[in-house]
Amino acid sequence: MKLKFVKMQSGGNDFILIDNRTTLIKNRKRCAIRLCRRQFSIGADGLLLLEDSRIADFRMRIYNPDGTEAEMCGNGIRCLVRFIWLKKLISKKKISVETADGIYSGRVKGDLVLVKMKPPKEIRLNLKLKVKGKEYALHFINFGVPHTILFVDDLKKVDVKSLGSAIRYHKQFSPCGTNVDFVKIINCHSLKLRIYERGVEAETFSCGTGAAAAAIISYKLGKVNSPVKISPSFGELLKLYFDARLREIYLEGATTKVYEGECSQSH
């Protein structure tokens, strides 16, 4: 059986989107592993499945390339909202989406999509942890998925794969692990970052929840104020707006349909 899909990207994060409301895909984990493999298949940072919801306009299921299901994805949900709008699956521009982390709402503004984020949880500042024989000051935050922030002076010199992996699997963050964001402050409204993404187990061009995590931790430490422009080292600009009490948080960025195609479930 042929599956119709759309390849989309936001901020450098790329995704395979499939309308699964008729449950064409039953083994979601196996499908994600097969389709997300680069060089051997379509290739992507994740598989996004659009499904029916009883409590929102639609439901989003998010699968990493290793087959694990993620609770939330900031860039992914913005791509899904644009996908819904492009496919004319709904007439209104404000769209509610159920995720494993609850209901989110997004609004289409041309090629930009603005998503209201949930307030962060479990903020822990200045964790002193020994990693690879060296002590680091790390900062933890949960934005639907766990993120750990490390501020650095030179992003180019960071061994994202090695250090990111060591922090990701540190016993402090077991059993679920953590995404790792390496952050450089540019000024009070701008920062740059590189991301080691859990589930991908490698550096990715961008991460929406990672961008939000980096900006909010930077704000909590008195380094930035809203709005914050977040520039991934290899991806496109994202912007975060928030109030002083972190009750109203919005993530905005461009979304792009790369191409459409068909593939076999057994590919």
Catalytic residue among 31, 36, 79, 207: 207
Dihedral of the alpha carbons of 112, 87, 35, 31, in degrees to the nearest 10: 120
Q: What is the DSSP letter of 212?
A: H
Catalytic residue among 36, 73, 188, 263: 73
CB 180 within 8 A of CB 168: yes
Residue type, position 108, single letter = V
Alpha-carbon distance of 201 to 165, in angstroms, equals 7
CB 75 within 8 A of CB 68: no
Residues 6+ apart with CB under 8 A from 27: none
CA distances from 239 to 20, 55, 235, 264 (A): 30, 28, 13, 37
Residue 27: which of 69, 79, 76 has the closest Cα? Answer: 69
Residues 6+ apart with CB under 8 A from 225: 188, 189, 219
Terminal CA-to-CA distance of the chain, rounded, Å?
10
73 is catalytic: yes
Alpha-carbon distance of 180 to 213, in angstroms, equals 10
Catalytic residues: 73, 207
